[in-house]
Structure formats: C-alpha cells, structure tokens
C-alpha cells in the first residue's frame, strides 16, 4: 500500500465516540494518522480507543466536555504531553434538540446547543491553534443548517449559522499562516443525532457517516496549496 501523506500526522477529532466523528476517526486511522479523540462518555471512549489501537497508530482518548473551558484546558495538557503537535483538527462535537417553535424552547436547551455547537468550537480551536503550524488543516462540522433554516430548530440553526461565521473568520485569519479551514456542511446523515431531531426520519434517504468521512479525507489530502473552503455534501435526493 502507498504511504499516505497523513501517515504519522496527529489528528484531533471532538465527539468521536459515535456517528460522523467516529467515522472520521476510522478514516483518518486508515490513513495512518495518530489520533486524539474526545467525548463525554468514558466507556464509549475506551471502546473506540481499543478498536482504533488495533490499527497500530497511537491513540489518545480522553474525556473532554467542549462547553467547559477547564475541561478543554485539561484535555490539551494531555495532548501536549503525548504529542505536542497537531496537524489536523476536526471540530465535530455537536448536539441537536427536538423540533419546537421558538416560544417553546427552554433556556437550558438553548444554552446547551449554543455552548456545544458554537462556544465549544471556539474553545477547542483557540487551544488547538497553539499547537498547529503551516500545512495544518481545520475542519469545522457545521451542517446545511449553517446557511439555510429548518422551522422548529431555532437553537440548532442559530448555533450553526454562528459557527459558519466563526469558520469564515478563522479561514481569513489563518490564510497567511498556511493553515486551511474547511467548513463541512453535511445534509442528512444516518447517526444517533436523529433520535433527538426527528426519530421517525427516513433513515434510508440519508448518507452514511462513512461516506461523509471519506469526502472529508479526500479534501484534507488535497495538495497544501489547494483547499475546499466549504464542503456541502447531500444525499442525491436532497433534503428530507
Ligand atoms: N447526522 C446528521 O444528519 C448531521 C448533518 C449535519 C451536521 N451534523 C453535525 O455533525 C456533528 C456530529 O453529529 P452526529 O450526527 O455524528 O451525532 P452523534 O452521533 O450524536 O455524535 C455526536 C458526538 O458529539 C459528542 N458530544 C456531544 N456533546 C459534547 C460535548 N459537550 N463535549 C464533547 N463531545 C460532545 C458526542 O459524544 P458524548 O455524548 O460522549 O459527549 C458524540 O460523540 C454535529 O456537529 C452535528 O451537528 C450532523
């Protein structure tokens, strides 16, 4: 097998215990990346870590709640101890909420969604930038909800619109430093997030998380002088 240009590079994926994050971890592991994975479910982290470790590249699997600055600091201390470099950052951790109109959104739901999907992306990115150099890549998992809206999903739509603004700003700030910033805008993908969003959603019309992950890896593998600024990937049938 040809050696991938990602072999021995360090890739960090937030929310890698299941869904798109786990598929990304598997795909980057297949490229020979050393992995750093996070989530809050410690037993899921141990299970994923065992699976990925069998592929031989080092894996650091550690609890991190991306909403909490102290948790992010502790986590990055561990990243510094084990690798002290970061080549690929994937801000993937995210939550949704059940479908409800704005007059019914409870404040704790609003806060959880904004803190996870928007503030978490800021906190992790800020910490990661201290370890990233020219040639690195940041992928922010947004959603098609970053540039269009779905009624009943105000907190989710707002968090993803905000995260798109953050991503676009980050790209401009990092252009001169040679760090690429990719906004990932997937349509419906068959993961557990739909148990919250819309449990009866037609799963057969969705993409697989592995397909989304393969598209992201293809974008990361482009030559360093080329980038995909926004990767909008949808089922051929469109939105649900
Ligand atoms: N599935 C889709 O159709 C779709 C479409 C567009 C965009 N997206 C985006 O894709 C990303 C991944 O979603 P998914 O569909 O793969 O959902 P998922 O299967 O529910 O996975 C979400 C991941 O995020 C982690 N997470 C949630 N809150 C966290 C926190 N506070 N700190 C750290 N990790 C946290 C979860 O782990 P723990 O629970 O262990 O913390 C889990 O690993 C999200 O940003 C989502 O908005 C999904």
Marked catalytic residue, from 75, 156, 166, 194? 156
**Whole-angstrom Cα distance, residue 86 to residue 63?**
18
Q: Tens of pLDDT along 10-33?
A: 999 999 999 999 999 999 999 999
* CA-nearest residue, atom 29 of ligand 1: 93
Specify the DSSP class assigned to residue 124.
Answer: H
Ligand 1 centroid vs 93 CA: distance in angstroms? 4
The answer to whether position 179 is within a domain reads: yes
pLDDT value of residue 166: 99
pTM, to two decimals: 0.98
Q: How far is the CA of 94 from the centre of ligand 1 (A)?
A: 4
Position 1 pLDDT exceeds 70: no
Domain annotation covers residue 166: yes
Structural domain count, the chain = 1
Does 3 reside within a domain?
A: no
**Within-domain flag for 239:** no
Residue 180 belongs to a domain: yes
User: Which whole number is the average pLDDT over 201-218?
Assistant: 97
Q: Is residue 238 part of a domain?
A: no
pLDDT of residue 198: 94
Beta strands in the chain, from DSSP E residues, in sequence order: 10-13, 34-39, 59-63, 86-91, 132-141, 180-186, 230-233
pLDDT in tens, 156-198: 999 999 999 999 999 999 999 999 999 999 999 999 999 999 9
- Does any domain span residue 178? yes
| Sole residue written with tokens 């676009």 | 168
User: Tell me, what's the pLDDT at 153?
Assistant: 97
**pLDDT single digits (tens) 124-133:** 999 999 999 9
**Residue 54: band (very low, low, confident or very high) from pLDDT cuts 50, 70, 90:** confident
- CA 22 to centroid of ligand 1, rounded, Å: 10
Q: What is the CATH number of the domain that holds 169?
A: 3.40.50.720
Residues near ligand 1 (Cβ within 6 A): 14-21, 38-41, 44, 64-67, 92-95, 116, 120, 141, 143, 186, 188-189, 191-193
Give the residue whose CA is nearest to atom 2 of ligand 1.
Answer: 189
DSSP 117: I
Residue 50 class from Cβ within 10 Å (0-12 exposed, 13-18 middle, 19+ buried)?
Answer: exposed
Higher pLDDT, 27 or 240: 27
- Domain range for residue 20? 10-233
Q: What is the pLDDT of residue 56?
A: 77
Please list the helix, strand and coil fractions of the chain in percent, rounded to the nearest 5, in that order.
45, 20, 35
> Mind listing the pLDDT tens digit for each residue in 222-233?
998 999 999 999
**Average pLDDT across the chain, whole number:** 96
**pLDDT at res. 75:** 98
- Would you call 66 a catalytic residue per the annotation? no
What angle, 0 to 180 degrees and rounded to 10, lies between the N-to-C axes of helices 120-129 and 154-174?
A: 20
Q: For 96-120, b where at least 16 C-beta lie within 10 A, e where not — what string?
A: bbeeeeeeebeeebbebbbbbbbbb
Confidence at residue 2, expressed as pLDDT on a 0 to 100 scale: 57
Mean pLDDT of 209-218: 98
Cα 53 to averaged position of ligand 1 atoms, centre (Å): 22
Atom of ligand 1 nearest to the CA of 189: 3
| Residue 240 counted as domain residue | no
């Amino acid at each position: 097998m040809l050696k991938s240009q990602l072999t021995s590079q360090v890739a960090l994926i937030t929310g890698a215990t299941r869904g798109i994050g786990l598929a990304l971890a598997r795909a980057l592991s297949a490229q020979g990346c050393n992995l750093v994975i996070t989530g809050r479910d410690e037993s899921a982290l141990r299970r994923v870590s065992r699976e990925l470790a069998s592929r031989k590249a080092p894996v650091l699997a550690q609890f991190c709640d991306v909403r909490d600055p102290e948790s992010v600091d502790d986590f990055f201390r561990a990243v510094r101890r084990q690798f002290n470099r970061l080549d690929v950052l994937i801000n993937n951790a995210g939550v949704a909420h059940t479908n409800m109109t704005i007059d019914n959104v409870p404040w704790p739901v609003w806060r959880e969604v904004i803190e996870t999907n928007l503030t978490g992306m800021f906190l992790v990115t800020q910490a990661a930038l201290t370890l990233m150099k020219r040639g690195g890549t940041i992928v922010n998992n947004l959603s098609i909800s970053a540039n269009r809206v779905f009624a009943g999903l105000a907190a989710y739509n707002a968090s993803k619109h905000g995260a798109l603004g953050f991503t676009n700003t980050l790209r401009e700030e990092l252009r001169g430093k040679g760090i690429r910033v990719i906004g990932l805008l997937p349509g419906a993908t068959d993961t557990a997030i739909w148990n919250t969003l819309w449990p009866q959603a037609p799963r057969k019309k969705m993409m697989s998380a592995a397909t989304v992950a393969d598209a992201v890896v293809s974008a990361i593998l482009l030559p360093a002088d080329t980038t995909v600024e926004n990767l909008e990937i949808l089922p051929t049938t469109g939105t649900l």
